[in-house]
Structure 1
């Protein structure tokens, strides 16, 4: 089945490619449930969505290249990061297109074989946790692909030089190595594996995969795990302002689980991965609960809390992604349920305290299939970046806690919350990095322990 392109009638049939274009074809296998919908809310693999993912990984791959170039050519410039971002943005628009120019990369999806599930399912608790409330509430609320294959026709403008062509293919291969498609992609849903890459009917996967490896080796040079886990002061200037590969990037890769010998497919490997992720997050939730409970015992006087004096007790889960909400029950003669919200605010010069309601996780989970062994492995990418914007003058962003007490529903309306107080607190640029690297270290340790136990069980 061919999914309609978002380009509509503006895109010619790929069988009639003009001489000014060249064509690659990437064939992907779907390893874990993939949630993606078209304009009619029906299940569909959308070219526009896939292109957005490829642009994301392209930026992640080439940010450092532009940063180093800007540093060489403008040594006395105060805001090198901003200059590099502008250059990267111009380069991206020239290649991928924007409001001022057409894209020099066109995509067309052809579904070769699909397995779609249109009904709701009960799922393991870890899968429900990974999907979240928007997709799962005791049952799955959206249709999804359970597996299958699809081909991505990649039509490149012939005027592109070899460096630009390779950069597009590197983005495709980065999707293959680390990325997923559709909703909840950072939690491993929509994991895909590139099984074939052809150019003029010639298999070129190995050649271009080697090229990506060389590029990543260059980007990750100086990546020292001993330095990563040290308590040395963090140079904030080393952290990318956007999610991008850098010397701080770390990768976890699990051991293969052969489907033929264990019967475990990609979705089951993801369930195991999310089970560990859930437990690690839960430990943070317990720490947060203890933190708030300490203030809830005697009237919930959190307004007296001074974050500067409570750095070690600070709710670390706030730095794993926003929005973040806690529910706390006050014990005593008049027990109440409280809802604690945490938000961040951008204090850089041009935004003057603009609220930042969302901040994505720095972790990217994936399940890949190893072609040679027919086994599935999990892969976790930790790609640290600045948690919040930072101005050239290093103005510190700030956050806000807003506490509210839960009222009883009235007239069949949803629960409402009465405001109790708000509390501002400063956020240093080092805090989010330290919190996330500690989480990654714990996650890595727990995954390693689970794999060792799995091996011992198999040996028995």
Structure 2
């Protein structure tokens, strides 16, 4: 693992535990994500998934065991991360006011898994499983705030029947080529849905290696700061008369319309909005607190309290000793048809149709801070 991993055991407040069921769940998620382009329909993917991972109708067709654990060093809660404002932003929930609230495994831990697959499984399914493992090791993570880069898992080696199928990329260029090879395996063609019904790869996916660094913690912190620059309205600095970020840098206010919409709703100046905040596309719930008025507002869906972010942040280890930050956008149907976005707070309430625009995430990939990065797909 390349970044702090917050994964609770029996007592999440006191222990961290990486168990086979958690790893199997991650494999299942990425299996679904990589299988859809080749199959085209969720119904066909589900048949393959149930066949391999098991269902109420039958057992899983493979056994997973952890055969080696090295350097899984647990760090107690209460660590001072006040100088890592980017980590604090990305780690909302496990980090509060610059302090870690739960124990975690520090970066550098390694695990070795063995998968024993039954002989009656088709070559198509076993190949897809191998692809899913690569995807997990290139884009995925485990534990809390996994889509925000915490618990990033980097694949170091993959052996199939004793034959080496994967080795660590040496540099950014080689990493780009490996990801492109994987996407070729996934078969991103016009046949696959342009907007899948669930989080999966499609022709609308976007992958970029945006930055490299020698320290994975600092690198993830930089990505967090950049996301905060892009999304935040900032807090007013009375001495300077401008809104600033936590490190006193002037806020860009790229989504000032979001701020104004919710503020006007709370004040009563806007009784029936025609749209929801654009930043909803980053996931739900989407909350607000206005320091000037001490008011709070929440934005979520009428029937769904949570919608995970379609943006995945991953920190990958390179053989050179450096680390690379990979951003992956997997657009999909954001909410079920007919579901509406609701905005509430201060006794005010409004509902609007859900109309997210994934361009508001794509623009983050094009930040000037990422000018030395590499576009992988499309």
TM-score by length of 2: 0.81
Q: What are the superposed Cα offsets for residues 341-393 of structure 1, whole Å, 9 maximum, x if unpaired?
A: 22223xxxxxxxxx11100101000111122x222111000110011112xxx
Q: What is the Cα deviation at residue 137 of structure 1?
A: 4.2
**Counterpart of 2:245?**
none
Out of 171, 182, 187, the position equivalent to 2:143 is 182
Supply the distance in 2 between the matched residues of 1:323 and 1:101 (Cα, whole angstroms): 36
1:14-413 alignment, distance < 5 Å: 30-41=1-12, 42-67=15-40, 84-109=41-66, 110-123=68-81, 124-146=84-106, 147-205=108-166, 214=181, 216-217=183-184, 219-221=187-189, 238-257=194-213, 264-282=214-232, 283=253, 286-294=256-264, 299-303=267-271, 305-307=272-274, 311=275, 314-328=276-290, 337-345=294-302, 355-371=303-319, 373-390=320-337, 396-404=338-346
User: Greater RCO between the two (CA within 8 Å, min separation 6)?
Assistant: 2
Larger Rg: 1
Asked if the contact 2:20/2:64 (under 8 Å) is kept, the reply is: yes
Structure 1, unaligned runs of 5 or more: 1-29, 68-83, 224-236, 258-263, 331-335, 346-354, 391-395, 405-419, 453-460
Q: What is the Cα deviation at residue 284 of structure 1?
A: 5.0
Supply the distance in 2 between the matched residues of 1:215 and 1:196 (Cα, whole angstroms): 15
Q: What is the Cα deviation at residue 64 of structure 1?
A: 2.3
Structure 2, unaligned runs of 5 or more: 168-174, 233-252, 374-378
Asked if the contact 1:35/1:183 (under 8 Å) is kept, the reply is: yes
Supply the distance in 2 between the matched residues of 1:211 and 1:157 (Cα, whole angstroms): 28
Asked if the contact 2:210/2:326 (under 8 Å) is kept, the reply is: yes
Supply the distance in 2 between the matched residues of 1:163 and 1:175 (Cα, whole angstroms): 18
Asked if the contact 1:280/1:443 (under 8 Å) is kept, the reply is: no
Asked if the contact 1:367/1:379 (under 8 Å) is kept, the reply is: yes
Supply the distance in 2 between the matched residues of 1:289 and 1:280 (Cα, whole angstroms): 14
Supply the distance in 1 between the matched residues of 2:284 and 2:190 (Cα, whole angstroms): 30
Asked if the contact 2:273/2:350 (under 8 Å) is kept, the reply is: no
- Using a 3 Å threshold, how does the CA distance of structure 1 residues 271 and 212 change in structure 2: closer, same or farther? closer
Asked if the contact 1:276/1:446 (under 8 Å) is kept, the reply is: no
Q: What is the Cα deviation at residue 35 of structure 1?
A: 1.3
Supply the distance in 2 between the matched residues of 1:320 and 1:247 (Cα, whole angstroms): 20
Asked if the contact 1:176/1:193 (under 8 Å) is kept, the reply is: yes
TM-score by length of 1: 0.67
Supply the distance in 2 between the matched residues of 1:366 and 1:245 (Cα, whole angstroms): 16
Q: What are the superposed Cα offsets for residues 398-418 of structure 1, whole Å, 9 maximum, x if unpaired?
A: 2222232xxxxxxxxxxxxxx
Asked if the contact 2:141/2:150 (under 8 Å) is kept, the reply is: yes
What root-mean-square deviation, in Å, do the aligned CA atoms of Structure 1 and Structure 2 show?
A: 2.7
Count of aligned pairs: 338
- Using a 3 Å threshold, how does the CA distance of structure 1 residues 143 and 440 change in structure 2: closer, same or farther? same
- Using a 3 Å threshold, how does the CA distance of structure 1 residues 202 and 219 change in structure 2: closer, same or farther? closer
**Structure with more helix by fraction:** 1
- Using a 3 Å threshold, how does the CA distance of structure 1 residues 64 and 137 change in structure 2: closer, same or farther? same
SS in structure 1 opposite 2:109? strand
Supply the distance in 1 between the matched residues of 2:54 and 2:125 (Cα, whole angstroms): 13
Residue 438 (structure 1) aligned with residue 351 (structure 2): no
Asked if the contact 2:158/2:166 (under 8 Å) is kept, the reply is: yes
Q: What is the Cα deviation at residue 55 of structure 1?
A: 0.6
Q: What are the superposed Cα offsets for residues 409-457 of structure 1, whole Å, 9 maximum, x if unpaired?
A: xxxxxxxxxxx23222222xxx31x2x32232234324325x59xxxxx
- Using a 3 Å threshold, how does the CA distance of structure 1 residues 317 and 204 change in structure 2: closer, same or farther? closer
- Using a 3 Å threshold, how does the CA distance of structure 1 residues 388 and 85 change in structure 2: closer, same or farther? same
